[in-house]
Amino acid sequence: MALSIIHRVTGIALYVGTLLLAWWLIAAATGPAAYANVQAFTTSFIGRLIVFGYTWALMHHLLSGLRHLVWDLGYGFKANEREALTWGAAIGGISLTVLLWIVAYMIGGGR
C-alpha cells in the first residue's frame, strides 16, 4: 500500500521539521529580534508553505499511526477494514490540516 511509505516519508519530514520548532523555541527564549526573524520566515510565502506542509505531515502521520496502533491491537485486518482505515487516514489528514488552518487564520487574523 502506498500509504505505508507515506507514513515513513511524513515521519522523515517531521524529523527534519523539528529544526524549525527548535529554532522557534530558542528564538522565543532569546529575545524580540530573534523571534521577529522566525516570524518573518513563517509569515513569508515559502515559510507558510513549509508550515502548511508540516501541519499536513503531522496530521497524516498521527492518523496513519493510529491505524498502526489499531493493527497492533489485532483489529482491522479484513480487506474492507484496511481500506477504510487507510482512506480514513488519508482524507482525515487533509481535512484536519485545512480545518486547523481555517481556525489559525481566524485566531491569528484577529490579533
Residues engaged in binding other proteins (CB under 8 A) = 8, 11-12, 14-15, 18-19, 21-22, 25-29, 31-32, 34-36, 62, 65-66, 69, 72, 100, 103-104, 107-111
CB of 9 to other proteins, least distance (A): 10
What is the nearest approach in angstroms of other proteins to the Cβ of residue 84?
19
Between 90 and 96, CB nearer to other proteins = 96
The cell numbers describing 28, all together, are: 522565543
Give the shortest CB-4-to-other proteins separation in angstroms.
12
H-type helices in 1-111, by residue range? 2-30, 32-42, 45-72, 79-109
**What is the residue type of 13?**
A
Q: Which helix (H) or strand (E) holds 110?
A: none
Secondary structure letter of residue 78 according to DSSP: S
